[in-house]
Structure 1
């Protein structure tokens, strides 16, 4: 399942990009509405096919290890390692390969890239499918530690959105924003409560957006 999920979701993303997403590129509001509508459609399709009840997935690694006096599941360490590996691979793909150079060129100046012979449509399909595959991999990795249901991804939408706002656009911005938002949420939840953690995260996001309108990565590049 861990290997099949990103392949299957990547193929689904490829189809959705061709049928829907390609028609709303560069139209911000239309893109949000289209993807939101697709998410509702997919969730309802899952409910009709599999039912609304939550399902559980057996943890493939049940061993635990003691770290600084605390018992910690090995599978969670595996998730951390897998996350770092995916981050490293993504950075390598976009900053050390011809594909990444072309993709960044299209993002920087799409018309110029097209004039130089770059097939921008094919690149659109490939990058969208890659993003969908990463989402499928994330779902497969997280399934054993949380209930699997049509709403399982909704809890990640707001933190992900805040991470982009705080960190800024691009891979470095997303990584920095995720580290700040995720770290603040975890620390505040352990010190106080999940509700207090949400208050802390939103307050921190407001301050960060006020100080760094283009995100942390944008402010760093400007220096």
Structure 2
């Protein structure tokens, strides 16, 4: 393998890791901080992608989909957390069933508005550019850079801000945090809204790269869940470790064999982690 082919392979792996981190981030916030396995996570990603379909149908630039996706996902997330999730925090299995029903409702609603067919969106950054001597799509390079920037900013916020300190206190000991005057109920609501909004933004950024249809959320949910199983819940290192293991394994196996083999190996790996290391690589115990 020559240097150009190796660089191209590394860029493809970096792209797959970036997309995996992007779609997992929202679920990591909700599942890791609140203990709620949001089965509708993929549907919020799908709503973000359809926001791009809407704005391009109106003749507007892709960036206009960002505020639209944020408003739609944040509004739905606030209503869902307030009226559906909040009464069920002490009943994890019931939250799973409730969000699964929510996923079906969102999916059918989108089907009624847009139909079941595939949609594609266009971006001027789809054309390849020269990067270190190889030709690679400009939008993929931009996506990799954006994900790196988001993760760096998130780490700095989580470890260095007062809001991050309150979040760590709530996840570490919610009863003690409440006794110290932290409004854990409001903090939990904001965390849920932030999580689903991040999912919507992931959908906006992935829209030019995927075929958009109402059922795309299922694959995103499964990939995100595998990452959290392997990496562990409640820590940024767990998110990074899970993305590296799952994304790297899937990219390498898919490159050597095919996508089905890559998915099968990831599934087996996740089962082994659930059996042998249920807390993941870096999860809180």
The two structures share one fold, judged by TM-score above 0.5: yes
The number of residues matched between the two structures is 220
Distance 1:71 1:164, change over 3 A: same
Which 5+ residue runs of structure 1 have no aligned equivalent? none
Q: Per-residue CA shift, 1:157-194, capped at 9, x if unaligned? A: 21211111111012221221022101111111111011
* Higher RCO (CA < 8 A, seq sep 6+): 2
Structure 2 counterpart of 1:143, from 188, 207, 225? 207
Moved over 3 A (4+): 66-70, 206-211
The alignment's TM-score, normalised by the length of structure 2, stands at: 0.72
Instruction: Assess if the C-alpha contact under 8 Å between 1:43 and 1:150 holds in 2.
Output: yes
Distance 1:154 1:210 in 2: 24
| 1:7-31 per-position Cα deviation (integer Å, ceiling 9, x unaligned) | 3312221121112111111321111
Q: Relative to 1, partners in 2 of residues 1:186 and 1:105: Cα closer, same or farther, differing over 3 Å? A: same
Which secondary structure state, in structure 2, belongs to the residue aligned with residue 147 of structure 1?
A: coil
Of the candidates 63, 88, 110, which is equivalent to residue 46 of structure 1?
110
Q: Please report the TM-score for the alignment, with normalisation by the length of structure 1.
A: 0.91
Aligned to 2:163: 99
Equivalent residue, structure 2, for 1:193: 258
DSSP-derived class of the 2:135 partner:
strand
Contact 1:59 1:145 in 2 (8 A): no
How big is the shift at 1:112? 1.2
Structure 1 counterpart of 2:237: 172
**Distance in 2 (alpha carbons) for counterparts of 1:191 and 1:88:** 31
Q: Which moved more, 1:50-59 or 1:36-45?
A: 50-59
Task: For 1:25 and 1:60, locate their aligned partners in 2 and report how far apart those are by CA, in whole Å.
Answer: 44
Shift of 1:121: 1.3
Which sections of structure 2, spanning at least 5 residues, go unmatched? Answer: 1-64
Partners of 2:239 and 2:251 in 1: how far apart? Answer: 18
State the 1:210 CA deviation.
4.2
**What displacement does 1:60 show?**
3.9
CA RMSD of aligned residues (A): 1.8
| 1:24 aligns to 2:88 (yes or no) | yes
Alpha-carbon separation, structure 1, partners of 2:71 and 2:245: 30
Partner of 2:176: 112
Partner of 1:37: 101
CA deviation after TM superposition for structure 1 residue 51, in Å: 1.8
| Segment of structure 1 superposing worse, 176-185 or 207-216 | 207-216
Q: Aligned pair 1:183/2:248, yes or no?
A: yes
Deviates more, 1:51-60 or 1:174-183: 51-60
Residue-by-residue CA offset, 1:58-101 (whole Å, 9 max, x unaligned): 12413312346542101011111111122222222222111111
**Partner Cα distance (1:70, 1:6) in 2:** 35
Contact 1:168/1:217, CA 8 A, preserved across alignment: yes
